[in-house]
């Protein structure tokens, strides 16, 4: 009994010391929180399964292997027919969501930075025009912008027989934008391997060049060497393999174009509307970031004889980017989530495919919504993770 009585107080003292340690206590709280969250999710899932069984439904994802029996008009990455499975339809929807999100982020970033800088222009007319555009766009719901752009494309552009012709290879009509599509031969994988190897070499070369510069001060023309390696190696591989590339040119046959790559009006409308709508918020973020930089930095640059453009490029923007990045990540997430409005104009993203037609055909409400929710969750987590990494990379390092 004496041994037991001595052991218990010793154990309690160890637990007390462990709890009083701030780092250990933080880890314990996080572990307990995660355990509670997973326990609640397991309880909810169990109740869902029991309720579905009570009404004669089975919680299962077997429906993904059944034929979808519906068409998807825009599938630029993988082949799809109405005989394909629901799983393939889900993959097409996810890829279409990623496509509009990535293209929208790129265009919105470029437009946002340009308008943010023009918003600070000393030219009164340019400043006011950008200001009016920003205020009008931001105060109108994004869905109306999407419907507006889609309506312009469908009603104002000409039909395929009267399509705008650019060099007999590019055609713009109310059915979409038809462009030549590259067709690679099987041996083209060699070119892809050479390209990947050259990019890998450039990555390590940049790190080595930076290390040499820090240690010796010697500066290598990193950009030109990198561009020469990537372009040169890929071009040599392309020629050495016999140029295994041909082009599928769109041709008018009947009432529409055949061949080539068709960029549908739904994608164009969604891409443009989401891009310029989000760019208006990015422009204000950029303007605030630039104004956050002390004006003394600009005055010092002027005293050194730097032009206004060089001052922005070399001094103001690099410092403002640290203020811009955190709210910029939120706008990227908003653009990605706003892409779910694509169903309003018939763009076949993951909401329209899995969360729309597949749900109605199979009656699998829980399963399809889980797929849709996980899709947006994963995409958002990837964007957040990348932006957090970029934010840490650009942060000031204290010595």
Assess if residue 67 is contained within a domain: no
253 and 351 together in one domain: yes
DSSP string, 237-272: HHHHTT--EEEE--EEETTEEESSEEE-HHHHHHHH
CATH of the domain at 306: 1.10.3720.10
243 and 262 together in one domain: no
Expressed as residue numbers, the domain containing 20 is 2-54
202 and 173 together in one domain: no
What are the structure tokens assigned to 284, written together? Answer: 């204000």
* Residue 3: per-residue pLDDT: 47
54-72: pLDDT as tens digits: 877 777 888 889 998 888 8
The mean pLDDT of 225-233, rounded to a whole number, is 89
351 and 314 together in one domain: yes
Tell me how far apart the terminal alpha carbons of the chain are, to the nearest angstrom. Answer: 58
pLDDT score of 18 more than 80: no
45 and 91 together in one domain: no
pLDDT score of 106 more than 50: yes
The mean pLDDT of 334-344, rounded to a whole number, is 92
231-285: pLDDT as tens digits: 998 999 888 888 888 888 888 887 788 888 888 899 999 999 999 999 999 999 9
242 and 151 together in one domain: no
> Domain boundary residue among 227, 248, 269?
248
* Residue 10: per-residue pLDDT: 57
231 and 317 together in one domain: no
220 and 95 together in one domain: no
What are the structure tokens assigned to 288, written together? Answer: 């605030």
Better-scored residue on pLDDT, 320 or 139: 139
Residue 222 CA: distances (Å) to CA of 116, 197, 204, 315: 30, 17, 11, 21
Q: How many domains does the chain have?
A: 3
Assess if residue 76 is contained within a domain: no
20-56: pLDDT as tens digits: 777 877 888 889 899 999 999 888 888 877 887 787 7
47 and 164 together in one domain: no
238 and 326 together in one domain: no
22 and 135 together in one domain: no
pLDDT score of 95 more than 90: yes
> Domain boundary residue among 248, 263, 285?
248
Q: Are 66 and 340 in contact (CB under 8 A)?
A: no
Residue 176, strand partner residues: 173
Assess if residue 268 is contained within a domain: yes
pLDDT score of 221 more than 50: yes
> Domain boundary residue among 248, 276, 293?
248
Alpha-carbon dihedral sign for residues 99, 334, 345, 158: negative
What percent of the chain stands above pLDDT 70? 95
Assess if residue 310 is contained within a domain: yes
Q: In which residue are the tokens 């960029």 written?
A: 263
221 and 134 together in one domain: no
* C-alpha to C-alpha distance for 254 and 120, rounded to whole angstroms: 52
* Mean pLDDT over each residue of the chain, to the nearest integer: 86
pLDDT band at 2 (very low <50, low <70, confident <90, very high): very low
- Residue 351, judged by CB atoms within 10 A of its CB (0-12, 13-18, 19+), counts as buried
200-216: pLDDT as tens digits: 999 998 889 888 888 88
* C-alpha to C-alpha distance for 157 and 302, rounded to whole angstroms: 49
Assess if residue 138 is contained within a domain: yes
Q: Is the pTM of this model over 0.85?
A: no
* Residue 141: per-residue pLDDT: 93
Assess if residue 174 is contained within a domain: yes
* Residue 391: per-residue pLDDT: 86
Assess if residue 386 is contained within a domain: yes
Three-state SS at 170: strand
304-318: pLDDT as tens digits: 887 777 787 778 888
Assess if residue 66 is contained within a domain: no
């Amino acid at each position: 009994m004496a041994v037991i009585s001595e052991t218990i107080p010793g154990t309690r003292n160890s637990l007390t010391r462990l709890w009083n340690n701030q780092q250990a206590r933080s880890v314990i709280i996080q572990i307990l929180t995660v355990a509670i969250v997973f326990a609640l999710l397991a309880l909810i899932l169990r109740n869902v399964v029991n309720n579905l069984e009570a009404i004669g439904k089975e919680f299962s994802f077997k429906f993904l292997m059944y034929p979808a029996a519906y068409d998807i008009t825009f599938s630029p990455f993988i082949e799809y027919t109405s005989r394909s499975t629901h799983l393939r339809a889900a993959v097409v929807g996810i890829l279409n969501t990623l496509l509009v999100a990535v293209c929208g982020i790129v265009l919105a970033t470029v437009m946002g930075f340009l308008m943010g800088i023009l918003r600070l222009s000393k030219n009164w007319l340019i400043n006011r025009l950008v200001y009016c555009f920003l205020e009008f766009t931001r105060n109108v719901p994004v869905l109306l912008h999407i419907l507006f752009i889609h309506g312009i494309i469908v009603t104002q552009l000409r039909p395929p027989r009267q399509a705008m012709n650019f060099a007999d290879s590019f055609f713009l009509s109310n059915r979409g934008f038809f462009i030549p599509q590259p067709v690679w031969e099987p041996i083209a994988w060699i070119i892809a391997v050479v390209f990947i190897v050259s990019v890998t070499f450039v990555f390590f070369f940049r790190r080595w060049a930076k290390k040499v510069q820090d240690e010796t001060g010697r500066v290598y023309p990193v950009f030109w060497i990198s561009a020469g390696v990537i372009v040169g190696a890929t071009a040599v591989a392309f020629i050495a393999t016999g140029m295994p590339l041909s082009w599928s040119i769109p041709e008018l046959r009947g009432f529409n174009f055949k061949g080539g790559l068709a960029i549908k009006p739904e994608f164009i409308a969604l891409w443009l509307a989401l891009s310029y709508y989000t760019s208006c918020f990015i422009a204000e973020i950029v303007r605030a970031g630039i104004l956050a930089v002390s004006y003394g930095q600009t005055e010092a640059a002027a005293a050194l004889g730097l032009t206004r453009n060089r001052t922005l490029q070399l001094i103001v923007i690099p410092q403002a980017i640290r203020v811009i990045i955190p709210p910029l990540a939120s706008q990227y997430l908003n653009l990605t989530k706003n892409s779910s409005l694509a169903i309003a104009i018939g763009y076949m993203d993951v909401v329209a495919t899995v969360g729309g037609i597949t749900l109605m055909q199979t009656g699998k409400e829980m399963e399809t919504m889980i797929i849709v929710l996980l899709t947006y969750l994963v995409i958002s987590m990837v964007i957040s993770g990348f932006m957090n990494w970029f934010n840490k990379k650009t942060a000031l390092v204290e010595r």
